[in-house]
Amino acid sequence: MQKHHKSPSETTVVVAMSGGVDSSVAAALLSERGYRCIGVMMRLWSEVEIGEGSRNKCCDQESVDDARRVADQLGIPFYLINVERPFKQNVVDFFIDGYSAGLTPNPCLACNRHIRFDYLLNYARRLGADYLASGHYARLRRQPDGSVHLLRGVDERKDQSYVLSMLGQAELTDLLFPVGDYPKNDVRRMAAARNLPIYSKHDSMDLCFVVDDDYRRFLQDWAPEAMIPGEIIDRDGNVLGMHRGLPNYTIGQRRGLGLSGSGAPLYVVDLDRTRNALLVGPAEALRKTELLATDVTWTLGRAIAAGSRAQCKIRYSARPMDCTLYPQEDGCARVVFDAPVRDITPGQGAVFYDGAHCLGGGLIAKYAS
């Protein structure tokens, strides 16, 4: 963890605190190891504001109070900073624009790229901090040549390397992930053993800015033009029915299509924004052998060699699939799978691994059979 051979007592760490178990234990571990910690929490945009507070689930008043209590117990300074404007521009608008374009975006990828490990990391640097730490379940391994490898967290069920795949060496060298070496159950036990007031608190959920967890309702309010009904079409061009707006559906979906008496089961196989059409087909139509990823970041700062063997995850909860990678000069990468993969979804992240080592990732732009 040491940087430039500084001792912990000479090393300042800004800890991104959320009022949850993981970031609280991260702060506790670093404090116990002698680091000079500063707790910082971000106030993020929410569609509903109450007085001076926010209904964003990551920074509501209860979470702010919990984070402050933990910081007070650890004896470290605590600051709440306003990040509403960049969060709205880079995360919420990204989410709205993605769905409006017929994609299925992952806002956590955008948040980590633009907010946590850009805005907040630069804030930490301006404070003179040596590192920014967070409660992510991932591991960092510093190499003799000065490079930093991003590895999966020990707890495979909680591993968050997928949403950290956009980090390069410029960021990784200044980061710490103290809980990545522990299973989640151990982290909770560590919180309880230290009498931290949040040891039994539930984990936070995705889409923190949607107050009722109903992203369809959110899009109806904030992007009604994306929710216009249109035709449901099979692969022969037959109109089978009407959809209720493309963002209501996702690739691989079978239920809720309203297609009765259609014979063999039909699944969503594509969202055609140009025609505002929902394309459906049999299960085999979901299986693809290639994808193209754009906006690719390589965690070691350089692309791997074309033809390299790797594994690719096509969504956060997916199993890594064996593939061959072909980086391109335009910041894209072609991924060729050993066997057909089901439910490749444009807008989601394609993240590349070599075993436990996260090589990088990008956004799925399109796929091929």
Residue spans of the domains in the chain: they are: 8-136+177-193, 228-281, 286-368
Q: Spell out the CATH class of 8-136+177-193.
A: alpha beta
Residues linked to residue 321 through DSSP beta bridges, in sequence order: 312
Three-state secondary structure string covering 34-82: CCEEEEEEEECCCCCEECCEECCCCCCHHHHHHHHHHHHHHCCCEEEEE
What's the CATH fold of domain 228-281? SH3 type barrels. (2.30.30)
Q: In 3D, which of 176, 175, 173, 198 has the Cα closest to residue 187?
A: 198
Q: Which residues pair with 150 in a beta bridge?
A: 140
pTM of the model: 0.92
Residues 46 and 55: beta-carbon distance below 8 Å:
yes
pLDDT of residue 2: 46
pLDDT of 1? 45
**Active site members:** 111, 208
Structural element, H or E, at residue 32: helix 21-32
Q: Give yes or no on whether 228-281 and 286-368 have one common fold.
A: no
With beta carbons less than 8 A apart as the criterion, state whether 337 and 318 touch.
no
According to CATH, what is the number of the domain 286-368? 2.40.30.10
136-175 pLDDT, tens digit each: 999 999 999 999 999 999 999 999 999 999 999 999 999 9
Which of 212, 129, 181, 211 lies closest to 22 in space, CA to CA? 181
Residues of the chain predicted below pLDDT 70: 1-4, 49-57, 204-206, 261-262
Beta strands in 228-332 (DSSP E): 230-234, 239-243, 267-272, 277-281, 287-298, 308-313, 321-327
Report the phi/psi class of residue 159: left, alpha or beta, with left for phi > 0 and alpha for psi in -120 to 50.
beta
User: Rounded to a whole number, what is the distance in angstroms from the first to the last CA of the chain?
Assistant: 45
